[in-house]
Amino acid sequence: MDDQQRDEFFERLWTGAATLEDWTATVAGGVAQPIADDVITIHTSYLFGNATALRTSEGIVLIDSGSRETAAQTFAVLRRWDEAPVHTIIYTHGHIDHTWGARLYDQEADGKGFARPRVIAHRNVLNRFKRYDTTHDLNSLVMGRQFNQPGYTFPDQHRRPDEVYDETLSLDIGGTKIELMHGRGETDDATFVWLPQKQIVASGDFVIWVFPNAGNPRKVQRYAPDWARALRQMQALTPAVLVPGHGPVVRGAKRVDEMLGSAADVLESLTTQTLALMNTGSSLDDILHKVSAPPELLARPWLKPKYDDPEFVVRNIWHLYAGWFDGNPSHLKPASDAELAAEISTLVGGVDRLARRAGELAASGHTRLAAHLIEFASDAMPQSPQIQSVRAEVYGRCAEAETSLIGKAIFSVYQRDAKERSTVPIRAVTFPRDESAHETEEILAETEGGQQILDWLASFPGYLHAGAAFGDFEVVSFHLRRESPSELVLNLPDSPRPVTVTFTLGDWIDTRIEGFSHQNVIGGLRLRRAGLRDTQLWEQGVGMVPGLIEIELEPCFGANGVIRATLQKVHLQFS
């Protein structure tokens, strides 16, 4: 692409007639764009950071060095332009798509026998790399989910800076003046670089040709107010050329001013709105549904929320000023997700109702509410392939509704998880069906909490052709109490998610149980309505009421026999 074609293509980008995906296709494999005498910017892809090279009498100064995926391309493009040793590498921040390639220049220097380049960065880059070492596996997980790349492995070696600074640093390398200025934004270690002799500002990721990445939900704190201040600082320099962290170079003082100013405007607006509501005592929930970015700003081609989302930024601003508590008292010391889901599914009459309604809501475009309901259903019955199938459908629709890459990727990760879980074969826990199974189902259906048990059992293949339920469960306790309901507790530890079932028993309790030992695995459990029972005079005298249900524990290893009682309720709980 020659200069005229590049200018024509940029006009299309500036007006929104072309996309960043279109631009990436023009720089695939690595392209050097001259932006001033002895200065080029190297582009390889929108997704990975730009690198800018300055030719000086003392060697090359490199601003950022490329990612693991593109550093070799960046290196090759640079060496086609100039073979001089790299004198200094400046990190605009510590993210790996800007720092990883530095090692290639160390290796080159070692191989050719000249001094390794000096690496300069803000002091907090050192802290970042320490954190990366400590959280390597977490970073692999987070990055894999953020970009929907299963199996992604985060780099485990990082080229530390040789020299660090705090607020500003002035350099003179071979007669080229270079000003480093610190600001917090996407990171707390960010630097923008000012070349006063050439009126060029290299912004790093303060500018990325999309809505600012100031709210990433899986990353550490971002700094929207400080980000806006850094953009205003750059704007005050009145640069003629802007080299962004990602995307094409912007030429012309008027356009540079517009890009910097509009990005600052949107961050200032979100910060002002959020803080105004926080100062009235509003909860995070209230704020999330009241604050919005000015639509005329989001309409700018370089501010579209294609990577991050303004709503995520509002959350991040809240966290910056108010910490993690969102103002909902139930979230301060919450019950587990599984406990809450079990209770809600019982109240609504079963997880199938939750899942069905979630599917209906998602299909009608109400994906936020649908996501809540399907997670309740999944937490209450995580082993159900049917529930996971609906869950996959819901999160597929959630992903479709998102504009941001981060939002789409995260929902797609959970969609994939649900698809996998919807097809995983699950060990059956029931026996061949006979007529007594009908009675067991009827009794459970009319007992408090029983519908949840039936829904859960129905998730196992073959249950509708099964008889006694709870095969391979272990009787972990049978408590007989005088002044409160008694309990029979069963547990299935050998499952993807251990489950406990508690039968609460009342009235007079008759037992004919034998074989209790250190391991009490039952072959199954049947419920049947108890027949008439003779009562002795002494029993009548103390007000004995015979139980209405017989619980038969079928033999396997240990406990077996019959318990007669009135079944008050049953409760299913996942560990």
Checking if the pLDDT of 332 tops 90, the result is yes
Q: 414 with 492, same domain?
A: no
> Within a domain: residue 427?
no
> Within a domain: residue 289?
no
For the ranges 73-82, 427-436, 441-450, the lowest mean pLDDT is seen at 427-436
CA dihedral 279, 281, 286, 289 (to 10 degrees): 0
Tokens of 500: 């406990």
- Which residue matches tokens 């959350």? 315
Distance in angstroms (rounded) separating the CA atoms of residues 244 and 58 = 26
Q: 384 with 458, same domain?
A: no
> Within a domain: residue 459?
yes
Q: 160 with 278, same domain?
A: yes
Checking if the pLDDT of 433 tops 60, the result is no
> Within a domain: residue 563?
yes
> Within a domain: residue 558?
yes
> Within a domain: residue 314?
no
Q: 345 with 462, same domain?
A: no
- The pLDDT tens digits for 170-189 are 999 999 999 999 999 999 99
CATH for 350: 1.25.40.880
Question: Each residue of 407-422: b (16+ CB within 10 Å) or e?
Answer: bbbbbbbbbeebbebb
Q: 396 with 477, same domain?
A: no
Which of 422, 446, 469 lies at the terminal end of a domain, its last residue?
422
Q: 359 with 475, same domain?
A: no
Q: 366 with 486, same domain?
A: no
pTM over 0.85: no
Q: 148 with 279, same domain?
A: yes
Q: 381 with 440, same domain?
A: no
Q: 117 with 225, same domain?
A: yes
> Within a domain: residue 219?
yes
Q: How many domains does the chain divide into?
A: 3
Q: 355 with 277, same domain?
A: no
Q: 383 with 495, same domain?
A: no
> Within a domain: residue 527?
yes
Distance in angstroms (rounded) separating the CA atoms of residues 488 and 575 = 18
Distance in angstroms (rounded) separating the CA atoms of residues 422 and 419 = 5
- The pLDDT tens digits for 27-65 are 999 999 999 999 999 999 998 999 999 999 999 999 999
Alpha helices per DSSP H over 464-574:
537-541
Residue 213 vs residues 22, 94, 139: alpha-carbon distances, Å: 21, 15, 17
Q: Which residue segment(s) compose the domain that 250 sits in?
A: 3-284
More confident residue, 124 or 144: 124
pLDDT of residue 509: 81
More confident residue, 258 or 552: 258
pLDDT of residue 459: 65
